[in-house]
Structure 1
Amino acid sequence: MNFNNLIGLMLFVPLFFISCTSSENTNPGTSVPLENTRWKLNTLNGKKIFTPESGKDIFIRFSSADKRANGFAGCNTFFGTYKSDKNKIAIGPLASTEMFCEAMMQTETEFFKALSTTIKFKIKGNYLQLYDSAKMLAKFEMITGTE
């Protein structure tokens, strides 16, 4: 192997390994903020959530201005307060409209229970995950262009 090939190889190998490194969580300072972001529900208690027949996604939004949460639970809109500190969060008490939608009532009940029992959260990329002390309760995806 001649000297020029050796130099080329020495330059290529480190660049190859750098380009193959995962960028997930490499710069936590650029993660999506919890607050002032619309979060669409994707998974609830381990089950995939699809857009309801109404065509409106289940979502939550945390407002930094007044420390209030609001959203849509599949049939009813809801609102309330929250407190967060680092990765800890307490959501509620919450209030909601009182419409009856037979197809969505089970999901709404589970959703409100998950929110009220959440004690911590994680943001990974464009995803928000809510946890109780033992497991992930809900997973949301950041939605853009809806504010």
Structure 2
Amino acid sequence: MSCGCKSHKDVVVNAAPEFSAEETWHLTVQKGKEFAPLEGQKEITIRINPEAGTFDGCSGCNRYFGTFKDLGKGKMILSDFNGTKMACPEAFHKVESNYMQLLHRCNGYRITAYTLELLQDDKVLLSFDKVTE
């Protein structure tokens, strides 16, 4: 009896998805409620680039950006927030302000192939779907 040897590739089972710098996520749920932009308002988006240690996106009217640090095990720090200061309708500004207040509170995340949840401790504050072309 003979045994043959085959070369094989290592297979990673149940690997957690990771952030990709090219991926943009759009807001779908805010504090447990479905979210849709107001008529004429831009989508709220986020993009996280762990290699560069940055995040950026659109908050409905303005662009925002800052520093991202992955602490492992779904924990993170978002800091050094900055952004543009475009004039927007008051209603857009209110939506934007609410979003940014929640984003500042986020200290964790869960990510799947198509969904990103940003958490404060274990509570989901913001949910995003991956933007697909």
TM-score relative to the length of structure 2: 0.78
Tell me what 2:70 maps to: 84
In the alignment of these two chains, the number of paired residues is: 118
Residue from 39, 47, 52 that aligns with 1:66: 52
The alignment yields a C-alpha RMSD, in angstroms, of 1.9
Structure (1 or 2) with the greater helix fraction: 1
Tell me what 1:96 maps to: 83
TM-score relative to the length of structure 1: 0.71
Shift of 1:34: 2.2
Tell me what 1:24 maps to: none
Shift of 1:88: 0.6
1:122 to 1:132, Cα distance in 2 relative to 1, 3 A = same
Distance 2:78 2:56 in 1: 10
Distance 1:30 1:125 in 2: 9
Shift of 1:135: 1.6
Residue aligned with 1:111, SS: helix
Task: Could you list the structure 1 runs, at least 4 aligned residues long, displaced by more than 4 angstroms after superposition.
Answer: none
Tell me what 2:130 maps to: 142
Tell me what 2:39 maps to: 53
Tell me what 1:35 maps to: 20
Identity %: 27
Shift of 1:30: 6.5
Q: 1:97 corresponds to which letter in structure 2?
A: T
Q: Which has the larger radius of gyration?
A: 1
Distance 2:14 2:19 in 1: 13
Deviations 1:58-110 (A, max 9, x none): 10001234211110000111111111122111112211111232121222112
Structure 2 gap segments, 5+ residues each: 1-12
